Structure 1
Amino acid sequence: MIKKISLGVLVALLLFLGYYHEEAIYGIRQGKGQLKIIFEAKPLSSYLEDDLYSEKEKSKIHLIQEIRQFTIDSLGLDYTESYSEMYDQKGQPILWNVTACQPYELTPKRWSFPIAGSFPYKGFFIKDLAKQERDKLRQEGWDAEIREVSAWSTLGVLNDPILSSMLDRSVGSLTQLVIHELTHGTLYVKGSITYNENLADFVGDEGAKKFLIYKYGKYSPEYIKFMSRTGDRKTFADYILKSTQSLDSLYQTFTDELTLQQKQSLKEQKIKEITEGLQHLEFANANYCSYFDDFTPNNTFFMSYKRYRSKQNEFKREFEEDFNGDFHAYMMYLKEEYQPMFKYLKKLF
């Protein structure tokens, strides 16, 4: 009987690997990349005692620990061991995401994986593999791009380390990033990347404001700089989201009578209008006006803003009107709504 069961399990495994051959190879590569970072991460004391790290960098390491505790005490996020170690990138990027979108409609390509579900991006720890995936998608007719990833979350499944490049960020930017990623470790709605990313961005922004006021004060350079940056970011995001709707409206007018050349020409004209329109906006940081000087965006760029910023007003309204700006009450509500699925996901690992 044991032999029959073992044989059955082996056959099932072989069939699974045969059917999901590409996904299995991809999963193994991603697992190796992630585990390399986890296993090579060192306790924070190793860096705090290392003379090669500046006092400014060490202060950022201490700051991250304060932010971690603040998210538990003041924002209602779950306790986690994430960011209790650090991985030295030695000045090199370590992860890239590939995204793709239909060329004449704002519909992203989604990659499906057993158990984990589907995602509108695909990550690679080897840049050449990311380039190969992007080029293959372009040959198939997709708008496709590569984006370097500066941080990510394993959703609380693993203890994510600090990445050394995070220490190069300003205090406000670092605070927002850490809270964003720790939010993913507390709440995750399976199959809804847009919801997850928008929530993490919202909690990251609002949580960073609270932390900076708590630690530095409302009139501190740290808070004022962050609010200036946040204002510019909102102005830019609102413009891109409005432009995304305009671009989508154009695509809705495309008929089968139009040739591909005609569609492409209309698309390029519309995107040119969008990029040039930045010159009519007011930013505290004038660099935003030259945002598109080095590249021309395609549909993947516009979809990324829908993914991260399209629901910010909805979250803010719910947070302020239904929960009176009380983070603990809001997070408790969200956990009750979505935590069962998240706990199930964790148990799978």
Structure 2
Amino acid sequence: MSRSGFAEIVFASASLVAGCSTVGYYSQAIDGQLTILARRQPIDEVIADPATTPELKQKLQHVVAMRRFAVDSLDLPNNASYTSYVDLERSYVVWNVFAAPEFSLTPLQWCYPVAGCVSYRGYFSEDDANRFADKLASDGNEVYVAGISAYSTLGWFHDPLLNTMLTRSEASLAGTLFHELAHQRLYARGDTAFNESFATTVELEGVRQWLQKNGREGQYTGYQTTLERKLQFIALVQDAREKLKTLFATDMPDQQKRKGKEEIYVELKQDYRQLREQWGGYTGYDAWFARDLNNAHLVPIGSYYDYVPAFQALLNRHQGNLKAFYESAEKLAELKPGARHEALEQLLPKP
């Protein structure tokens, strides 16, 4: 699609939503996306360029091999995604703004044509994100701005590999590629738990096979440990969410709610310190807890991986045959959400 053609379509969609601020938001989104697309370079050309550093060249060669493996061994989409490279010369590709009221965990939402309603607003500029967050805070909301290193258009465009993704370990980078390509393989609109659990299952199986193929099976244990810690972190936050929900539902005066809320967040940090000791000093979530926590921080943390065991059971049912697994998952995606989740519950291993 031409540059002007894309802009016309997006601005036509934006006109369906009133307000200059909305048009301004779409403008930065268009500019940010087009800048990424315009700066794409074929990975093969970057590898062949004498100016490319040996370290970058090696990482890109790994990505080329991972991309081919994804198609040949994992039956993932054979398209132009992750066959080009962009150096954004910054640490994050976008910054997402989350917001929630002082005494509620229901996040503010923004609705867009095609995409529907989401509980964050993404900006390609950190300054723009902070300005919008400041505006929301001035209206009495609690806000959280999070830098995002991996960016996907879910197949709408041929997503390039970004420099922000290359700081990951080999296993983590492979997992990210397999995960995002799995979303392109199957995506049930509006069902985050289904989508993330499906993609995570493909990611785990893909990384296992990738490391096995390259004679590094031992790294998979460490990769699994990282995921298990992530799930423990999510469970910790979910426990605090439930306590906050109970508190906010009471008829207490605001001053008492405020005090109770502060105590819950203090307890959350204490629980994390205990969990970190169990991890042997692993500090992967220290930066998150180092902030002044508020309700907006909890918005992006959800139990989106609850159905991973169900999808793993489905994969085992097909004896590891990914093509058959995808076909069964597609049938689940065709069900209505209630029936879909009921079917996944039936697949969950019994205690």
Q: TM-score, normalised by structure 2?
A: 0.80
Give the aligned partner of residue 334 of structure 1: 329
Q: Pick closer, same or farther for the CA change 1:187–1:297 going to 2, 3 Å.
A: farther
**Structure 1 Cα separation of the partners of residues 286 and 95 of structure 2:** 24
Contact 2:93 2:150 in 1 (8 A): no
**Structure 2 Cα separation of the partners of residues 271 and 202 of structure 1:** 32
The CA deviation at 1:53 is: 2.6
| Paired letter, 2:295 | N
Give the aligned partner of residue 47 of structure 2: 48
**Structure 1 Cα separation of the partners of residues 272 and 211 of structure 2:** 30
Give the aligned partner of residue 121 of structure 2: 122
Q: 1:270 aligns with which of 235, 249, 264?
A: 264
1:205-216 aligned at under 5 Å gives the runs: 205-216=204-215
Q: 1:251 aligns with which of 232, 245, 253?
A: 245
Q: What does the per-residue CA deviation read over 1:209-259, in whole Å, with 9 as the maximum and x for residues that have no partner?
A: 22111223323xxx2xx5324314413422432441343244224445312
**Structure 2 Cα separation of the partners of residues 323 and 160 of structure 1:** 31
Contact 1:84 1:162 in 2 (8 A): yes
Q: What does the per-residue CA deviation read over 1:162-191, in whole Å, with 9 as the maximum and x for residues that have no partner?
A: 112322321111111111221222222222
Contact 1:80 1:156 in 2 (8 A): no
Contact 1:176 1:205 in 2 (8 A): yes
1:1-349 aligned at under 5 Å gives the runs: 16-17=15-16, 19=18, 21-219=20-218, 223=219, 226-255=220-249, 257-281=251-275, 282-284=278-280, 286-288=282-284, 290-291=286-287, 294-306=290-302, 308-320=304-316, 322-338=317-333
Structure with the larger helix share: 1
The CA deviation at 1:289 is: 7.5
What SS class does the counterpart of residue 96 from structure 2 fall into? Answer: strand
| Paired letter, 2:118 | F
What SS class does the counterpart of residue 205 from structure 1 fall into? Answer: helix
| Paired letter, 2:120 | Y
**Structure 2 Cα separation of the partners of residues 15 and 280 of structure 1:** 48
Q: Pick closer, same or farther for the CA change 1:88–1:16 going to 2, 3 Å.
A: closer
Q: What does the per-residue CA deviation read over 1:104-139, in whole Å, with 9 as the maximum and x for residues that have no partner?
A: 343232211012211122111121211122122223
Question: Mind listing any 5+ residue stretches in structure 2 that lack a counterpart?
Answer: 1-11, 336-351
| TM-align CA RMSD | 2.9
Contact 1:197 1:307 in 2 (8 A): no
Q: How many residues align?
A: 323
Contact 1:167 1:174 in 2 (8 A): yes
Contact 2:14 2:22 in 1 (8 A): no
What SS class does the counterpart of residue 304 from structure 1 fall into? Answer: coil
Give percent identity, aligned residues only. Answer: 26
Q: Pick closer, same or farther for the CA change 1:161–1:230 going to 2, 3 Å.
A: same
Q: Pick closer, same or farther for the CA change 1:116–1:83 going to 2, 3 Å.
A: same
The CA deviation at 1:41 is: 0.9
The CA deviation at 1:306 is: 0.8
**Structure 2 Cα separation of the partners of residues 148 and 89 of structure 1:** 14
